[in-house]
Chain A
Amino acid sequence: MITQRSIEEGVAMEKGKTTPEYFEACSIIEMHDDDVKALGLVPNQLVRVTSECGNVVVKTVKGRQSLYPGLAFIPQGVWANQVVPPRTQATGEPQYSGFPVTVEPVNGEKRKSALELVQGAVGMWRGDQ
Chain B
Amino acid sequence: MPKKVENVGCPYCGVCCDDLVVTVSDDGKQILEVENACAIGNQIFHHATGSERIRLPRLRQPDGTYKDISYEEAVDYAAKVLYNAKKPLIYGFGSTNCEGMAAAAKVAEKAGAVLDNCASICHGSSFLAIFDNGYPSCTLGETKNRADVIVYWGANPAHAHPRHMSRYSIFPRGFFTGKGHMSRKIIVIDPRHTDTAQVADIYLQVKQGHDYELFDAFRAVVRGHEIPDVVAGIKREQIVEVANILKKARFGTIFYGMGLCHSDGRNHNVDIAISLTRDLNDYTKWTIMAMRGHYNITGPGAVWSWQYGYPYCLDLTKKDIAHMNPGETSSIDLAMRDEVDAFINIGTDAGAHFPIDAVKHLRKHPWITIDPNINMASEISDLHIPVGIVGVEVPGIVYRMDNVPIQYRKVIDPPEGVISDEELFERIYRRLSELEADEAVKEHAKAAPEGVRAGE
Which A residue's beta carbon lies closest to that of B367?
Answer: A122
A49 to B358, CA, bound (A): 19
Which residues of chain A in 92-129 are interfacial with respect to chain B, using CB atoms and an 8 Å cutoff?
Answer: 92-98, 114-115, 117-119, 121-122, 124, 126
- CB pair B156–A5 under 8 Å, yes or no, is yes
Which residues of chain A are within 8 angstroms of B374 by Cβ–Cβ distance? 16-18
Once the chains bind, are B353 and A115 in contact (CB under 8 Å)?
Answer: no
Chain B residue nearest in CB terms to A9: B159
Asked if B258 is at the interface (CB within 8 A of a chain A CB), the reply is yes
Residues of A within 8 A of B44 (CB): 14
Contact B159 A7 (CB under 8 A): yes
Q: Are B192 and A94 in contact (CB under 8 A)?
A: no
In contact, A93 and B125 (Cβ under 8 angstroms): yes
Number of interface residues of B (CB under 8 A): 66
Which chain A residues lie closer than 8 Å to B158 at the CB level?
7
| B125 engages A10 (CB within 8 Å) | no
Given contacts A53-B355, A93-B121, contact A122 B156 (CB under 8 A): no
One of B43, B258, B356 near A4 (C-beta < 8 A):
B258
Restricting to B155-169, which residues have a CB under 8 Å from any CB of A?
156, 158-160, 162
Would you call A92 and B326 a contact (CB within 8 A)? yes
Q: In the complex where A65-B194, A71-B191 touch, is A17 in contact with B352 (Cβ < 8 A)?
A: yes
With A and B bound together, what is the CA distance between A95 and B121 in angstroms? 10
Query: Which residues from chain A contact B194 at a C-beta distance below 8 Å?
Result: 65
Contacts of B121 in A (CB 8 A): 92-94, 96
Given that A7-B159, A71-B191 are known contacts, is A15 also in contact with B375, CB under 8 Å in the complex? no
A97 cross-chain contacts in B, Cβ below 8 A: 208-209, 258-259, 262-263
B313 at the interface (CB under 8 A from A): yes
A94 and B159 within 8 A (CB): no
Contact A67:B331 (CB < 8 A) given known A7-B40, A14-B43, A17-B376:
no
* B 246-288 binary contact with A (CB < 8 Å = 1; else 0): 0000000000001101111111000000000000000000000
Task: Given A7-B158, A92-B327, verify A64-B195 contact (CB < 8 Å).
Answer: yes
Residues of A within 8 A of B436 (CB): none
Q: A15-B47, A17-B375, A126-B64 in contact; A92/B331 too (CB < 8 A)?
A: yes
Taking CB atoms, residues of chain A closer than 8 Å to B408 are none
Question: Contact: A92 with B360, CB < 8 Å?
Answer: no
- Chain B residue at smallest Cβ distance from A14: B43
- Number of A residues with CB within 8 Å of any CB on chain B: 50
Given the contacts A97-B258, A121-B359, A16 and B12 also touching, CB distance less than 8 Å: no
B193 x A66 contact (CB < 8 A): yes
Q: Is A36 an interface residue, CB under 8 A from the partner? A: no
Shortest Cβ distance from residue B115 to the other chain A in the assembled complex, whole angstroms = 13
Contact B266 A89 (CB under 8 A): yes
Q: A50 in the interface, Cβ–Cβ < 8 Å? A: no
B301-344 CB mask vs A (1 if < 8 Å, else 0) is 00000000000010000000000001110111101100000000
Instruction: Report yes or no: A65 in contact with B193, Cβ–Cβ below 8 A.
Output: yes
Q: Does B27 contact A (CB under 8 A)?
A: no
Q: Is B133 an interface residue when CB atoms closer than 8 A count as contact?
A: no
Chain B positions within 8 Å of A76 at CB level: 353
Of residues 339 through 377 on chain B, the ones whose CB sits less than 8 Å from some CB of chain A are 349, 351-360, 363, 373-376
B379 touches A90 (CB 8 A): no
Asked if A73 is an interface residue, CB under 8 A from chain B, the answer is yes
Cβ–Cβ < 8 Å partners of B353 in chain A: 76-77, 81
A46 within 8 A of B: no
Minimum CB–CB distance from B296 to chain A (whole Å) comes to 16
Chain B min CB distance to A1 (Å): 9
Complex-state Cα separation, A90 to B375, whole angstroms: 29
Tell me if A11 counts as interface (CB < 8 A to partner B).
Answer: yes
Q: Quick one: which of A2, A82, A88 has the most chain B CB within 10 A?
A: A88
Extra contacts, 4 of them, besides A14-B12, A17-B352, A98-B209 (Cβ < 8 A), are: A10-B160, A64-B195, A91-B330, A93-B262
- A positions within 8 Å CB-CB of B: 2-7, 10-11, 14-18, 53-54, 64-68, 71, 73, 76-78, 81-82, 84-86, 88-98, 114-115, 117-119, 121-122, 124, 126
A-B contact pairs, 28 of them (CB 8 A): A2-B191, A2-B192, A4-B258, A4-B259, A6-B159, A7-B159, A15-B47, A17-B349, A18-B374, A54-B357, A71-B208, A81-B354, A88-B327, A88-B333, A90-B328, A91-B124, A91-B128, A91-B330, A92-B121, A93-B121, A94-B332, A97-B208, A98-B263, A114-B352, A118-B356, A119-B380, A121-B360, A122-B363
